[in-house]
Chain A
Amino acid sequence: MASHGVARVSGTNPAIRSEELRQKELEQIAAYNNLVDLVNFKVADRQYTVEVLDLTTRLLNENPEYYTIWNHRRRILLDLLLIPSSDDRPSTTLYRRGEELIHDDLQLTFALLRKFPKCYWIWNHRIWILQKGELSFNSASARKLWLGELQLVGKMLHLDSRNFHAWTYRRFVVAQLERMQASVTDTSLESVHSTQSLTESEFAYTTKMIKTNLSNFSAWHNRSKLIPMLLDERSADSAARRELLGDELALICTAINTDPFDQSIWFYHQFLMSTLSPKCASQNMIVRDLSNQDRQRYYAHEMEYIQDILEDETECKWIYEALLHCASCYLEIEGSTQAFTVLDMRGWLRELKRLDPLRRGRWDDLGRSLDIS
C-alpha cells in the first residue's frame, strides 16, 4: 500500500542501485512472478489441493495485500473442507482433517498480523476461517475457539493499544461469544444463570487500558459505547445511574488533573456532559430523571472544578473551551441563577483565541453564536 513513515534510504533509488543489487532484484522479481503465475494457473485449473494451498501460503507470506490470493485460498479450503476425514485414506497429506486446516490458517493469519497489523485482508480472512471452524466444531470447542480470539486481540492491543482494526475485531469477538452463550442458555437449564454478556468485563478492560495510558482514546470511545448497555444489563435504578455518572466524572477529573493537555480526555468529558443535555436521546442518557436544577448543579460543579485547575494551568486551551461549553449548556436551561458572567465568557474566549490561533476561525464563529464576540 502507500508507504507510511518509511524514511528515504539512499540506494533504493533505481538510478543509484549498483549493478549487483539490480541483478538481485531482477531475480527476486522473476521468482515472485513465477510463484504468482503458478498459483493463478493451478487455481484456474481447479487444482484445489493441499500442495496448492501451501503455494498460496508462500505467496501470502511475501505479499499479504494480494487479496485475490486470499480468495483463492478460500476456494481451495472450501473444497478441502468438504472432503470427509477418514483414517483409511492412502495419504494423510492429501486429506488432512478440517481441524488441522483451520488451525493452520489461524497460525498463518496470526503470524502475518504480527507483521502487518493494519492489513484489512488478514483480519477478514481470520474471521472467515473462524466462521468455517465454528461450523465444523461442537459448541464447546467453538466457544473455546472464540475465547482464544479474545486472548489474541488482547495481545494485539498490548502491542498497539490504538490499532482500530484490533478494537473492531475485539467488539466482533465479544459479539460472537455473547451470541454463543445466548444459544447455549436457550437449550440448557443449567447455564441459565451463567453470565450471558461480557459487558462488565469489557468495561473493566477499558478501565485497565485507560489506567495504563490516559491518552488511549480508543478505550475511552469503547467505554462510551459500553455504558448504556452496562446500565441496562444492571437494570440500574435512578440512584445506581447517578452513582455511575458520579464515578465517571470523578475518573475523568483525575485524568484532567494528570494531563490537561490531552485531547482524548476532554472528548470523554464532552461525552459525559452531552448525556446531561435534555436533547440527548433517552437510550444514551446515563441518568434519565434529571431535573433542570440537577443539570445546572452538574454544570456548575464541573465549571468550579475546571476553574480550580486553571489556577495551575493558565496556558491550557482545553480548559477555556470546556468552560465555554459548560457555560453554553448552562445557559440553555431555563430559569438560571447564573454561576458566571458574560464578562467571564468573553475572557475565556479571548484566552482561547490567544492560545489556539490555528483554530481562530472556529473561535470567531463560536463568539458570534454565543453572542459574546
Chain B
Amino acid sequence: MSLVSGPGRGGMTAIPAELQLFVDKHVRYIQSLDTRKDELEYWLTEHLRLNGLYWGLTALHLLGHPDALPRQEIIGFVLSCLHGNGGFGAAPGHDAHILYTVSGVQILATLNAFDELEERVKDGRKKIGQYIADLQDPETGTFAGDEWGERDTRFLYGALNALSLMNLLHLVNVDKAVEYVQSCANFDGAYGTRPGAESHAGQVFTCVGALTIAGRLDLVDQDKLGAWLSERQLKNGGLNGRPEKKEDVCYSWWVMSSLAMLNKLHWIDGKKLTSFILQCQDPEGGGLADRPGDMVDVFHTVFGLAGLSLLKYPGLAEVDPV
C-alpha cells in the first residue's frame, strides 16, 4: 500500500469565494495513491509507506470517510512490516525503526485493531512496547531511532505517543524523558532536536506533545512559547517553522497543535490561516500542497486537514492535538 506521493496540483484555478473544501476530491486522491505503481516516485518513496498509510488514513477519518480504505487489507499490510523484534519497518523488507513503529501502532489504534494484532502475533503489543522501551537511553532519558543509535526529540515523542496508545508507558522512565525534553528548551521558550539545537516548530510539537503525555505542561514557559509560536504566522496567513523562513501548510499542524495544547489558538488569525490552507488544495485532482500552486502529497494533505480541524472547519472530524 502506498499513500505517499503522486502528482497533482494545488490552487492553480480560482478558488470560489466561499472557500470550499473539496472533500470528495481529497478522498479520491488518497484512494488513488496505491494505484500509481507505474510512476517512479511510487517506488522511490517506499521508505515512507507506513507513514503514508497513517497520514492517508488519518486524513480520511478527518474527512468523515473512515471506511474509504479496506480495513483488513491495511491491517495485513501493517503486520507484514512487523519484525520479530517488535519493531516496524517502512515496508516489507525494510529495517525496523521507531519512526515506522510509531506509525504502525497509530494505524492499529485508529482501526481499533489491537485484538487482531494479538490474534496474529502472540504478545504483539508487549513485544512492540519492549522494542520501543529498549531504545531509551537510561543515562539521558532520550530515545534512539533504531539499533544504530541516532537520537532526536522526534523519537522521544514517538515513543511516548505509541506507548501511551498501548497503555504501556510504565515500560520506560518517563521522568528521565521529561528531564531530557527540558534540556532541549531554548531562551525563546521553544525546543530543538537535542540540547543546544535551534528552536523549530516541528520539535516544539514533539516536545510539548511529550510533556502533555507525561502530564508535565507546567514545565513549559507558556507565554514565551505561545508568543514564539504566534510569530510563525505571516501576512498571507500561512505559518512558518522558524523565524524568517517561508510558510508551509504542514506547520498548520505543528504550530497549531502546540498552541492548542497551550490553550492559545486565539493567538493567531484563524480565518486567514483557514483561507491559506484552502488555497493549497488541488481543486481538480484533490490533495493539498505545501504552498498554493505546488505539487500535492499526502503529508501536506493530512497536516493541512488536521490544521483545518483545529480551526473548527465545518464538517471535519475533531482532532486530538497530542
Helix, strand, loop or mixed for chain B's interface?
loop
A1 near B: Cβ within 8 Å? yes
CA distance A227 to B264 in the complex (A): 32
Indicate the size class of the contact surface on chain B: 35 or more
Give B154's nearest chain A residue, CB to CB. A120
Residues of A within 8 A of B187 (CB): 224, 270-271, 274, 284
Interchain CB contact under 8 A, B242 and A217: yes
User: Which of these, A32, A284, A365, contacts B40 with CB under 8 Å?
Assistant: A32
Interchain CB contact under 8 A, B272 and A358: yes
Nearest Cβ distance between residue B146 and chain A, in whole angstroms?
Answer: 8
Could you give, for residues 36-71 of chain B, a 1 whenever the CB lies within 8 Å of some chain A CB and a 0 otherwise? 101110011111100000000000000000000000
Interchain CB contact under 8 A, B186 and A224: yes
A335 near B: Cβ within 8 Å? no
A357 near B: Cβ within 8 Å? yes
B122 near A: Cβ within 8 Å? no
Residues of A within 8 A of B95 (CB): 67-68, 71
Interchain CB contact under 8 A, A3 and B294: yes
- Looking at A4, A162, A222, A357, which has the most chain B CB atoms within 10 Å of its CB? A4
CA distance A23 to B193 in the complex (A): 43
CA distance A129 to B7 in the complex (A): 36
A90 near B: Cβ within 8 Å? no
A94 near B: Cβ within 8 Å? no
Interchain CB contact under 8 A, A217 and B244: yes
Interchain CB contact under 8 A, A267 and B188: yes
* A4-B248 CB under 8 A given contacts A63-B44, A217-B243: yes
User: Which of these, A3, A74, A357, A359, contacts B267 with CB under 8 Å?
Assistant: A359
CA distance A126 to B266 in the complex (A): 43
Give B285's nearest chain A residue, CB to CB. A13
Residues of A within 8 A of B254 (CB): none
User: Which of these, A12, A33, A120, contacts B43 with CB under 8 Å?
Assistant: A33
B206 near A: Cβ within 8 Å? no
* A361-B39 CB under 8 A given contacts A2-B299, A124-B148: no
Give A125's nearest chain B residue, CB to CB. B148
A340 near B: Cβ within 8 Å? no
* A167-B197 CB under 8 A given contacts A4-B248, A362-B226: yes
Which residues of chain A in 147-181 are interfacial with respect to chain B, using CB atoms and an 8 Å cutoff? Answer: 162, 164, 167-168, 171
A84 near B: Cβ within 8 Å? no
Give B194's nearest chain A residue, CB to CB. A168
Nearest Cβ distance between residue B219 and chain A, in whole angstroms?
Answer: 14
A192 near B: Cβ within 8 Å? no
B34 near A: Cβ within 8 Å? no
Helix, strand, loop or mixed for chain A's interface?
helix
Which residues of chain A in 345-373 are interfacial with respect to chain B, using CB atoms and an 8 Å cutoff? Answer: 357-362, 365
Residues of A within 8 A of B281 (CB): none
User: Which of these, A6, A40, A262, A271, contacts B188 with CB under 8 Å?
Assistant: A271
Interchain CB contact under 8 A, B291 and A68: no
Give A221's nearest chain B residue, CB to CB. B198
Which residues of chain B in 259-277 are interfacial with respect to chain A, using CB atoms and an 8 Å cutoff? Answer: 264, 266-269, 272
Give B248's nearest chain A residue, CB to CB. A4
10 contacts between A and B (CB under 8 A): A3-B290, A8-B9, A13-B7, A26-B38, A40-B93, A65-B48, A164-B198, A164-B200, A271-B188, A358-B272
**Contacts A3-B297, A359-B268 given; 18 further ones with Cβ under 8 A?**
A2-B4, A2-B5, A4-B290, A5-B246, A5-B291, A25-B38, A26-B38, A32-B43, A32-B44, A36-B43, A65-B44, A66-B47, A67-B94, A162-B242, A221-B186, A224-B186, A264-B244, A358-B233
Query: 9 closest Cβ contacts across the A-B interface?
Result: A361-B266, A2-B299, A362-B267, A8-B9, A358-B269, A217-B243, A221-B198, A271-B187, A3-B295
- List chain B positions with a Cβ less than 8 A from chain A: 4-5, 7-10, 12, 36, 38-40, 43-48, 89-90, 93-95, 97, 148, 150, 186-188, 192-194, 196-200, 226-228, 230-231, 233, 235, 237, 242-246, 248, 250, 264, 266-269, 272, 285, 289-291, 293-295, 297-300
